[in-house]
Structure 1
Amino acid sequence: MDKLSYEKETLYVHKGYSSKNHQGSLSVPLYQTSTFAFETAEQGARRFAGEEEGGIYSRLGNPTVHVLEERMAAMEHGEGALAFGSGMAAVSTILVHLTKTGDHILCTRGIYGCTFGLLNILEEKYNITHDLADLTTEEKIEAAIKPNTVCIYIETPINPTMEIVDIAQITRIAIKHGIQVVVDNTFSSPYLQNPLELGADFVLHSATKYINGHGDVIAGILVGKNREDINKIRSTVQKDYGGIISPFDAWLLIRGLKTLHVRMDRHSNNAADIFTFLKSNPKVENIYYPFDEGNPQYEVAKKQMKTGGGLISFTVTGGINNAQKLMNELRLIKIAVSLGDAETLIQHPSTMTHSVVPEKERVEMGITDGLLRLSVGLENSLDLIEDLQQALSKI
């Protein structure tokens, strides 16, 4: 199944695996081993020298993990991929790979709380500076680039404000300046958006979310458009920092990928239904959803995303008190961080996922105390709307 002409839904199920090489097993085997035996001392030497393919040690590579990596590379239209023990392991690995002391990272003005924390660590300990900037126009992007900028790090849609960044515009400017572009594609998944196709150099995922889809794995994925870059990262930062994924977690992600397209269609359809309901509710002050026709970035979202996705953020009247009261009144929807699960989840970014971000920066990102983020699950949308309606009626 190595033909790149196959449609993406077929690749999600088959890419990177042949049962002929694994005693006919239809399911990808789980190679739950830490190390691999060599037939001879000379074979071990050849493998360590890179002269022969084959297992050495699971921190350096594992057959189950390799299937996941090859499948993810195909899904994101890249030449190579790496799997990690968490999304943050993927984020930290690519930033360490791309930077050195004295360099500058330019980021979208909204960013995941732990990525924000990592950037502060890099600045405080290693003098790798960063700026969070409005990157919505060519003029603003050019103005934010510094002589020592080596990386532009993008979230789109941005977590949790759902702001859209024009990936093609960013990459066009970055190429002119010789800057690498990294896109966190967690909110969209490869089914809805492919940043490498739009010019990015690397795309990453918290695979905990839509890639897995079942709320039972912590994992990360990094895909590169250049195989040599990925191989270099594999043999240096990933190997020596050690943020690898376990074979069992990789096996669970492979299982999750088989239904990604089916799940994403349902997530997106449910979210569209809930958006329509929330938009007409008088207790909802603001709503943030990529495919809102009133969104000034709607045309950009349509250009680079297949659908609006499964996430909606909104504010309610009454600020933080009513936001928390609404969450507490919900009966079906669960109060939990994360996203992309079968269950619908709601969380309060300013006191949960982004609580590490100081208030001044949170406000600049657009994260107010009344903002709620809803990850729409796979339930019947009528049940979800009924739950939201009864909770909203009590605030």
Structure 2
Amino acid sequence: MTRPAAPDRPGGTVAGLGEFALIDRVVARAGVARAAEVGPGDDAAVVRTPDGRVVATTDVLVEGRHFRRDWSSGTDVGHKAAAANLADVAAMGAVPTALLVGLACPPDTPVGWLEEVADGLAAEAGPLGAAVVGGDTVAAAPDSGAVVLSVTALGDLGGRRPVLRSGAAPGEVLALAGRLGWSACGLAVLRRGCSGVGGEAIAAVRAHRRPEPPYAAGPAAATAGATAMCDVSDGLLADAGHLAVASGVVVEIDGAALAAVALDPPGPLHQVGAALGVDPMAWVLTGGEDHALLATFPADARLPAGWAVIGAVAAATGDLGAGVRVDGRPAAAVAEALGAGGTGHVHFS
């Protein structure tokens, strides 16, 4: 494949440095995981599990699909890779404890760029008390040309029950923590080359490069009695659909309530949308990679700080199977009306 050229960085390439020297460079930037008894350097790490259970999740980022080196720095990619996994841990109601990283890269990959990736991983995980505790590196096939980064995150439930996608019940409320549409808006700006948009696009581009999941909102929701939860990585309509199907219910999104949370006060989504001729609600409903959290709560629950009600849960019937509706309209019809081309991201499609 042909990939965009990355900026030159001092420090040579992976081929010139060698595997073990590269690992030493990366480990030096890993940070310290509070739960780790044994970190990088042995055949495996040892991570304490006070709860007796381990939450584990993995995401794979592929150059050209999830990031471009001419659009994002290595530090950006490290932040993004960590966030995608740490948000999944939070969506289970857990607190992140450690990261494991698998890296496949061409021999000509600049060492400096990989050091930046390590810095980004450490910077995203560090404030949560987590860090990279191990992993693996391998040379990618020279003709592939792409960097592949696989990150596994571990987490601790702290005695709480895991919050699954399958626990929503009719009569409950649907709530959101975090922002939506910003990453998709930033991606649209990058694809247009930022021309004709102006300075208001900077925040959206930054959000695409470095999402800001509401990590603390996950454990807080679990403590407050959340019955189902997931992170919004593929798009609100798509991920709400996953929750609805897993629970066998209908998720009813209130368009006005969602707009009040996601689009008020007016900001980059309005401004960039106007410049690009895009309804910002299309980004809010179908844009992914912001890693907001979506959860259901009993109707009488007191929602933690940072959570806002955007809808309700209804029973699925023979005529209305499990799925998502926005103001009474099927999700697919809403996405089509907005010109979104689908309810969210679907791999292999």
Shorter-chain-normalised TM-score: which range? under 0.3
Larger fraction in helix: 1
Scaled by the length of structure 1, the TM-score of the pair is 0.23
Q: Which has the higher contact order (CA 8 A, sep 6+)?
A: 2
Larger fraction in strand: 2
